Chain A
Amino acid sequence: MRSDGILTPDAARVLNFLGLLAMVGVLVGAYVYEFGYRDVPCTLCLLQRLAMVAVAFGAAMNVMLGPDPRHYAVCLISAIFGGAISVRQSLLHINPYFDTTTGQPTLEATTNGPFGAPVWGLSLYVWGVILFATVILAVGIVQLFRSQFAAAEGPQEPDRLARLAMVAVGILVLVAAAETLTTFLECGFGDCPNDGGWNWWILR
């Protein structure tokens, strides 16, 4: 396959690097929110973060190993998983016959407040729906350009892209390690608390 299309393999790798930075930016923003508002993430929130790291991993695979439909599949599967969690959490707060404070359904209509403080008018789980839908759309569009899947030309990749790949995966390792540590501090090896308070397993 020739790589003379609009999207060359190298351009696709740079694009994936930018996508990875976007996902990492959201995860860092979630940390700023968590420590700024002293609002520990709930189980569904952590599952969305898990999906975000997995989407970033798919992008990092494209940067490190070159664009491949299987790497995009990792992004898509992760985004569908994260989207399902976000939709579930949004619906829990929309449904008037479910009381989110008790976690039980009710026979009388009730008004559920959002979980956590809103960001730019929307709750984080609503942003999650938008984010994961955007990832699915973006990955679908990028995959239309099959010239990116051409075999690498020459025996060695350009130095700058090799360095970019190391930076991308380095960022991913740091983020995944930080998420593992803070999740351990919050949940230990058991279930995570869903009360939204400043409730750390390590302090209980």
Chain B
Amino acid sequence: MMTIAFALLALASVLLWRRVQWSWALVMAALILGIVIFFGDVDFSSDLGIQL
């Protein structure tokens, strides 16, 4: 998943090189993927009781 997120950024950079205006949409997709990875990394079942 993390590899795919970075690959999206690399692809967006190549599109920016070609002056593609909507290349930022791929960056947003990479960040959304990052949020998914982040929430997958948090163990809510054990974290929430004490940390929040």
Contacts and interface: CB of A to CB of B under 8 A. Distances in A.
What interface size band does chain A fall in? 35 or more
Contact of A191 (B1, B13, B34, B46): B1
A35 interface: no
Contacts of A44: 38, 41
Contact of A187 (B3, B19, B27, B34): B3
Contacts of A81: 31, 34-35
A51 B31 contact: yes
Contacts of A54: 9, 27, 30-31
A182 B26 CA distance: 20
Contact of A61 (B3, B24, B28, B30): B24
> Secondary structure of the A side of the interface?
helix
Interface in A32-83: 43-44, 46-47, 50-51, 53-54, 57-58, 60-61, 64-65, 70-71, 74, 77-78, 81
A166 B14 CA distance: 11
Contacts of B49: 105
> Secondary structure of the B side of the interface?
helix
B24 A50 contact: no
A179 B2 CA distance: 10
A46 B24 contact: no
Given A47-B37, A74-B24, A78-B27, A176 B6 contact: yes
Given A51-B34, A57-B24, A183-B3, A98 B50 contact: yes
Given A64-B19, A172-B16, A105 B51 contact: yes
Interface string B7-38: 10110111011010101100110110011011
A169 interface: yes
Given A88-B38, A176-B12, A177-B10, 9 more contacts: A47-B2, A50-B31, A54-B27, A57-B27, A58-B27, A64-B19, A91-B51, A105-B50, A176-B10
8 contacts: A43-B37, A51-B34, A53-B9, A57-B9, A64-B16, A74-B24, A98-B51, A190-B1
Interface of A: 43-44, 46-47, 50-51, 53-54, 57-58, 60-61, 64-65, 70-71, 74, 77-78, 81, 85, 88, 91, 95, 97-98, 103-105, 166, 169-170, 172-173, 176-177, 179-180, 183-184, 187-192, 194
